[in-house]
Amino acid sequence: MAYRLPSHLHRNRNGMLYFRHAVPADLRQRVGQSEIYRSLATASVREAAQAAQAYAIALRATFERLRITAMSDDKQINSGAIAEALKGKRFIDEQLVALMRLQDRQQAQQQAGEQHAREVERHVREQLRAKAIAAGALAQMGRTLAKIESLNTHAQQQAEQHARELEIVKDIAVRAASAGGGGTPAKRSMGKTYAQGWDEYFDPNRGGALGFNTAKTYRPRVKHGEIFFGADTDIGHIGQSGLSEYANHVVADETIKAVGTKREYISNVRTFLNWHRSRADDFAPLSTASGIAPRNETPEDEQRDPFTLDELKAVFENARQYLQAGKSAAGRKRIAQPRKYWVTLAAALTGCRIEELCQINLHADLHYDEGLGVWFFDLNPKPDSDGIVRKRFKNDTSHRCVPIHSALVAHGFIDYLKAQKDAGHSRPFESHELPRWNPLIQDDGKHYTWSHGPSTQWGPDELKALSFSPEHDLSYFHSMRHSFAGSLVNADVTIEKREAVMGHKKETKSQQTRYAKLKKNVAILSRHVIEPGLDEIVKALKDAWGGELPKIEAVAPPIAPPQSRNTTNVKKPGRPARAKAAKPATA
């Protein structure tokens, strides 16, 4: 395609550029020619265009003067008019040069201003960086001081423990000396062996018997102590030194991997021994295991493997099958069980422990803040409307508010909870369809385990069916809690806000007071923790649906029988002391 020259320019066959301008028709007789044609003495289009512009301005001004000035005596304009136009061109050239110089000065000033702005911006960045470094140093100093305080507290506790142990030894020595024994006191018999003590301790008919879940947890650990001490060993012969030897044995036992579990073994055996010592005469209690048990330095978030994002996607894809009826892997007919889908998503996107989720009272613990536009759970130990407390928490710091992610709300989770409540259920995942997810209730009717169905029956089977790497120490629900914590860490959510929303235990009184209000502040927990901190998990959920989350329409579950709506079906006295899942009463 040929290049088009600017106006009034013409290039001859030698490449030189000429100025060309037509004379207006009403002035051609006076000028004596139809166009003005002059060489610009250059082949540069840029230079020629500037000169041509100046010529054009000068000629147009000349043509205007010719029209205005009366020149009735002249029949033709002489060559002086053209010379005058050329003088006008030089004037225009001078003006253009002045204009270009002005533009150069303005450009130089602009560049100087931009350079100054860059210098100011660099200075501001350096100041902010210095402040950030100073803030980091102060934060590190605070963490160091807190660690020193913790170490001092631990050292003080150890010193107090050692002092108590010394007093116990002195007391035993004094009693032995007063009895005429002198020297090292002899071991005293309690009159019962370790095996006999086992039967008495776990007897469900004794006063103050252990709860079902507690006894279930203690039995293998106390049995571990029996293997170490010997079933026929007199309990009275197991003293402080014997407990210390057992603690060393537990620490060296490679079959017990987690430090926290080692501590629990030692603590449970000490509790068993002290229970018998407190019921015998002149047997001082054994010291607490905190001075001899290993310290658990591993943070809670690192004690179990989290799901990877790919594993979470697979978990979500697997849970989708329960939204509609179909066939199981064994080929059996399966009804729609949306509770299995929603309990999976709720565990992953709230970070709650599974028992905390399953025991939520839909009538009292589900709230909507109209000012914030946020749905949230209020996790609290309050009783149900009939005055019976059907909840249990790991510790007091578990009492908190947990905002519900907007993606979970838009997906239909709130509609599902409302449908549950309208059907007469008081808990989010309670069901009277087979397989039932009703609470495990102990004989006294006071201890409920709402997560018995999903955590001990369904969750492990789902995890096994997913066939993840055996090298991962995974738990269907608790690994989601650790994935939740990892997502918050990757989103740079501060440790204070992470621990507040997850209900982690605080070690010191000052820490407990510091976060007492934060864990109830729905605005902060929603805007600075839940919404910005779970992008990774939300993306895994969207990927499980192919990119976008649809709105799941809530399907009303079967109406709960009236007798079971408050879940008051407690086992009658006289039956064997074994807790079992509550069954719905018939209408």
Q: Distance between CA atoms of 193 and 298, rounded to whole angstroms?
A: 37
pLDDT tens, 249-263? 998 888 887 777 888
**What residue ranges do the domains of the chain occupy?**
9-77, 194-291, 308-493+520-570
H-helix or E-strand spanning residue 452: none
> What angle (nearest 5°) sits at the alpha carbon of residue 556, between those of residues 343 and 434?
60
- Could you tell me if 451 and 583 are in contact, meaning their C-beta atoms sit under 8 angstroms apart? no
Nearest to 352 by CA among 322, 379, 327, 326: 379
Has residue 530 got a pLDDT over 70?
yes
Q: Are 369 and 502 in contact (CB under 8 A)?
A: no
Could you tell me the pLDDT band of residue 443, with boundaries at 50, 70 and 90? low
Q: What is the pLDDT of residues 481-499, one digit of tens each?
A: 999 999 999 999 988 888 8
pLDDT band at 319 (very low <50, low <70, confident <90, very high): very high
The pLDDT of 228-238, averaged and rounded, is: 91
* pLDDT at residue 85, rounded to an integer: 54
Among candidates 331, 391, 324, which has minimal Cα distance to 356?
A: 391
Confidence bin at 70 (pLDDT 50/70/90): very low
pLDDT digits (tens, 9 = 90+) for 159-211: 777 777 676 666 666 555 554 444 444 567 888 899 998 888 888 777 656 76
Work out the mean pLDDT of the chain and round it to a whole number: 79
Asked whether the beta carbons of 86 and 80 are under 8 A apart, the reply is no
Q: How many CB atoms lie within 10 A of CB 417?
A: 23
Element (DSSP H or E) covering residue 449 = strand 448-449
DSSP state of 294: P
Does the predicted model carry a pTM greater than 0.85? no
Q: Positive or negative, the Cα torsion across 103, 105, 107, 109?
A: negative
Above 80 in pLDDT, residue 79? no
Share of the chain above pLDDT 70, in %: 75
Greater pLDDT, 571 or 403: 403
> What's the pLDDT at 169?
63
Whose CA is closest to 338, among 405, 462, 428, 464? Answer: 428
Least confident residue range of 310-314, 535-539, 551-555: 551-555
**8 A C-beta contact, residue 277 and residue 292:** no
Coil, strand or helix at 509 = helix
